[in-house]
Amino acid sequence: MAQFIDRAKIFVQGGHGGNGCVAFRREKFVPKGGPAGGSGGKGGDVILEADRNVHTLLDFKYKRHYKAERGRHGEGNKRSGKSGKDLIIKVPVGTVVKDAETGEVLGDLTEHGQRLVVARGGRGGRGNAEFATPTRQAPDFAEPGEPGEERWIELELKLLADVGLVGFPNAGKSTFLSRISAAKPEIADYPFTTLRPILGVTEVDGHSFVVADIPGLIEGAHKGKGLGHEFLRHVERTKLLLHLIDLTDQTRTPEEAFEAINRELSLYSPKLAEKPQIVVGTKIDALSDRSVIERLKRYFEEKGYPFFAVSAVTGEGMNELMRFVSRKLKEIENAEEGKENSG
């Protein structure tokens, strides 16, 4: 399974501009035949492009240097050199780009297709034809192309996950995540809590997506207790919530646990409470009476929530659930794409 990285540092360099050319036409009665050196082409830019189909910064762990194509040199007969091709680098939607040296934020790529030039290509040098004047009819010099910009940049992924796992601390989210992925994430420390979200990449039938184990919400989270607002804001960026409920919990019924967590979500943000949810009953390997599963399935499906019962320990029910999650995510992504296209 892939490892989720939410920060990366890469070196980008725009293409060098092509050199101008010194050349002369061979014509009678024209000094040296007249200057005919063309200018060099501009170097390509390095451009970051947000792409909804890219979910992690993992690729940047293995390739860290990126250079755009240089411009071609000018030629005789006033032929200009061809400009270098731009280098387009795809990054996940939600990537913040900073200058590694100064810490300056260069851009925040929040929408699919949004672009940011991070290293401009050098200007092409002028050929000797450009320097001809009535008093200087046969210039025998040209300009070299300018070097492209280069810099180290830092990429930071604000979008934590496609799928967020919510539920009380005892709901078995960590075990669940360890079952679907083997991620050992490198993530930033969140200053407001010692708890850290754990992220993993899982793949179902060739469709990969990022899942975040949101550290257990507690009642009062909407007032800033526990995780507080800063982290809950990240949950808002997920497309789908898996609401995990411990079916062996003796302190509250599954229905009570579900309502308590949803109350916190809606008090914090109505938008968050409207996220599509799949209810997942966990720890069925420890259930002595399994009749509760059918009762809960009827209860939640009547309320409009798909319900699955699983054991992350034995793996029972996990494949069926994750295939459903994958299909649901694709539906949501297709709907978002359709809205953008119709808009």
Flag whether 113 is in a domain: yes
Give the residue with greater pLDDT, 113 vs 52.
Answer: 113
Q: Are 13 and 117 in contact (CB under 8 A)?
A: no
Alpha helices in the chain (DSSP H): 59-62, 173-180, 228-235, 254-268, 270-273, 291-302, 318-342
Q: Is residue 1 part of a domain?
A: no
Q: Are residues 27 and 148 in the same domain?
A: yes
Average pLDDT score over residue span 34-62: 90
Residues 58-68 pLDDT 10s: 788 889 999 99
pLDDT, average across residues 166-174: 81
CB 262 within 8 A of CB 222: no
The model's confidence at residue 52, banded by pLDDT at 50, 70 and 90, is confident
Location of structure tokens 């450009």:
130
Looking at the fold, whether 110 and 243 belong to one and the same domain comes out as: no
Residue that is last in its domain, among 157, 182, 211: 157
Flag whether pLDDT at 186 surpasses 50.
no
What is the pLDDT at residue 264?
79
What distance in Å separates the CA atoms of residue 240 and residue 246, rounded to the nearest whole number? 19
Percent of the chain beyond pLDDT 90? 52
Boundary-marking domain end, from 106, 137, 157: 157
**pLDDT score recorded for residue 257:** 92
Nearest to 201 by CA among 188, 227, 182, 218: 182
The pLDDT of residue 262 is above 70: yes
* 174 lies in the same domain as 130: no
Please indicate, yes or no, if residue 137 is contained in any of the structural domains.
yes
Residue 321 in domain = yes
Q: Does 142 share its domain with 195?
A: no
Rounded mean pLDDT, 257-286: 87
**Within a domain: residue 280?**
yes
Integer Cα distance of 42 and 69 in angstroms: 9
**Domain count within the chain:** 2
DSSP 16-35: PPPPP---B---TTSGGG-B
Q: Residues 6 or more apart from 131 whose CB is under 8 A from it?
A: 35, 139, 141, 142
In a domain, 218, yes or no: yes
Q: Quick one: 313 and 225 in the same domain?
A: yes
Q: Are residues 145 and 224 in the same domain?
A: no
Question: Three-class SS of residue 230?
Answer: helix
Are residue 333 and residue 193 in the same domain, yes or no?
A: yes
Token digits of residue 192: 């407001």
The pLDDT value given to residue 4: 44
pLDDT at residue 231 in the model: 56
pLDDT digits (tens, 9 = 90+) for 82-97: 999 999 999 988 899 9
Is the domain of 281 the same as that of 333?
Answer: yes
Q: What is the mean pLDDT of the chain?
A: 84
In this predicted structure, the answer to whether residue 195 has a pLDDT above a threshold of 60 is no
The answer on 234 and 188 residing in a single domain is: yes
Average pLDDT, stretch 113-131? 96
β-pairing, 207-213 vs 198-204, is antiparallel
Does the pLDDT at position 184 exceed 50?
no
State mean pLDDT over 128-135. 91
Q: To 5 degrees, how large is the angle CA 111–CA 117–CA 122?
A: 165
CATH number for 87? 2.70.210.12
Do 128 and 183 fall within a single domain?
no
Of 338 and 179, the structure prediction assigns the larger pLDDT to 179
Q: What is the pLDDT of residue 189?
A: 38
- Which domain range does residue 37 map to? 7-157
pLDDT score at 56: 76
Query: Does residue 2 lie in a domain region?
Result: no
Same domain, 81 and 180: no
| Shared-domain flag, residues 230 and 264 | yes
Beta strands in 14-114, from DSSP E residues, in sequence order: 46-51, 65-67, 87-92, 95-99, 105-109
Using the 3D structure, point to which of 136, 157, 178 is the last residue of a domain: 157
CATH number of the CATH domain containing 199: 3.40.50.300
Residue 17 in any domain: the answer is yes
Q: What angle do CA 162, 165, 171 make, to 5 degrees?
A: 170
Global model pTM greater than 0.85:
no
